[in-house]
Structure 1
Amino acid sequence: MSESKETPKLKIEEAKDKVIGAIAETMDLYGVTPAAANLYATMYFEEQMTLDEMREELGMSKPSMSTSVRRLQDIEMVKKTFTRGSRKHTYAAEKDFFRSFMAFYCQMWDRETKMNLEAINEAQENFIDVMKDSGSTPDIMAEAKKYYDQLEESKAYYHWLEDLVASIRSGEIFEFLPKDKKE
């Protein structure tokens, strides 16, 4: 039985393919389409790429490529870069997973907090109106109070989430959860 000997270059490509596959497969956590995930994972091992290089490497259509790059830019996983003397746009993948995690989740948590606190405050105003309404029965007033209080308790989560985002953005979180843990 003859054992085929892999070249060092082939071993490098196989190792990169393993990581590219894993990254692409888990990017759905970020709400990223499989095409955009594969693009990001491929770009991760490159310094920068043009749209033409991306299309050539991945065989994607121009509209799909543009949509994927825009989505990755929106979630701060890819940045447009400048290359002196070139008129083509180049793009670079964010290689610092702490930074991409923080940017993505902070955006999502900010959105969640803002939307839900606005809805809660508006709903609580309605419940107050019901409790003050002389036409409300004691049962209706009790129900409005119950829901008002329930929403008031839920605000603790959103304020905690605001504090979490602030600690991530300031870097304070790394005092409690250091980046450089091994194993």
Structure 2
Amino acid sequence: MENSELEQLSDEARARLVKARQRVIESIGKNMDLYGVTLSVGHLYGNMFFRNGPVTLDEMVETMGLSKTSVSTGMRTLNDLKMIHKVWGKGVRKDLYEVEPDWYQTFADFFVIKWRKSIEMNLQSLQKSRREMETLLAEYTDNKELQEILRMDIEKIVNAVEYYDWLDRLIDALESGEIFKLVPKSTDA
């Protein structure tokens, strides 16, 4: 329901609907905040979720009561995370944005983006540290205590790299949709 449709409702019905929607919007915001997306961007997404069609930046500025810069930044963040996308509207000169309706895809895209960054950053650190430890191992062959510490640390790094290899395969399964063969989208399947 758009604002004009809400105005058609009785004050009581409108208030109850707004309260129910607000609970979901707050929940979405808090959930996204847990994953490193600001609360206000989560609220922006939650408000867009209840729209029955594309919105402009100006419409969301009015809805949210935030500055145009804040809403624009939030829309860009949501677009980068593939949670919303630009759509075309006949005769509309302003950019229109719409929520990605497939929450399964939204989940997959969000985590793929976040996990790929994590893998890249952590693998670089692990590989650099492993090279440094292997150099130490080669230089201090007469220090048995250091050799043992280095071997244990290198083994920990090897295990961590194996984890990131697994995570990379999980990401591939999310991107390809293979994950849904193991965990179907619906329990009715």
Task: Report the aligned-residue RMSD.
Answer: 2.1
Shift of 1:8: 5.6
The percent identity for this pair of structures is 31
Question: What is the correspondence of 1:5-24 to structure 2 with a 5 Å cutoff?
Answer: 12-24=17-29
User: Does residue 118 in structure 1 map to residue 132 in structure 2?
Assistant: no
TM-score by length of 1: 0.86
1:29 maps to which residue?
A: 34
| SS in structure 1 at match of 2:110 | helix
Question: What is the correspondence of 1:5-84 to structure 2 with a 5 Å cutoff?
Answer: 12-46=17-51, 47-84=53-90
Checking the alignment, whether the CA contact within 8 Å between 1:30 and 1:104 is kept in structure 2 is no
Q: 1:108 aligns with which of 114, 136, 142?
A: 114
| SS in structure 2 at match of 1:80 | strand
What is the rounded CA distance, in whole Å, between the counterparts of 1:68 and 1:12 in structure 2? 25
1:140 maps to which residue?
A: 146
Cα deviation code 1:58-84 (max 9, x no counterpart):
111111111111111121112122212
Checking the alignment, whether the CA contact within 8 Å between 2:140 and 2:146 is kept in structure 1 is no
Checking the alignment, whether the CA contact within 8 Å between 1:117 and 1:158 is kept in structure 2 is yes
Structure 1: segments with no counterpart, 5+ residues: none
What is the rounded CA distance, in whole Å, between the counterparts of 1:7 and 1:134 in structure 2? 78
Checking the alignment, whether the CA contact within 8 Å between 1:167 and 1:173 is kept in structure 2 is yes
2:94 maps to which residue?
A: 88
What is the rounded CA distance, in whole Å, between the counterparts of 1:61 and 1:141 in structure 2? 58
What is the rounded CA distance, in whole Å, between the counterparts of 2:186 and 2:178 in structure 1? 14
User: Does residue 164 in structure 1 map to residue 181 in structure 2?
Assistant: no
Checking the alignment, whether the CA contact within 8 Å between 2:108 and 2:174 is kept in structure 1 is yes
Aligned residues: 178
- Name the CA shift for 1:14/1:143 in 2 (closer, same or farther; >3 Å): closer
| SS in structure 2 at match of 1:92 | strand
Structure 2: segments with no counterpart, 5+ residues: 1-9
Deviates more, 1:57-66 or 1:16-25: 16-25
Shift of 1:178: 0.6
Checking the alignment, whether the CA contact within 8 Å between 1:25 and 1:37 is kept in structure 2 is yes
**1:147 counterpart letter in structure 2:** D
What is the rounded CA distance, in whole Å, between the counterparts of 2:169 and 2:141 in structure 1? 41
Q: Runs (4+) of structure 1 moved beyond 6 Å?
A: none
Shift of 1:13: 4.1
| SS in structure 2 at match of 1:70 | helix
What is the rounded CA distance, in whole Å, between the counterparts of 2:149 and 2:26 in structure 1? 52
| SS in structure 1 at match of 2:92 | coil
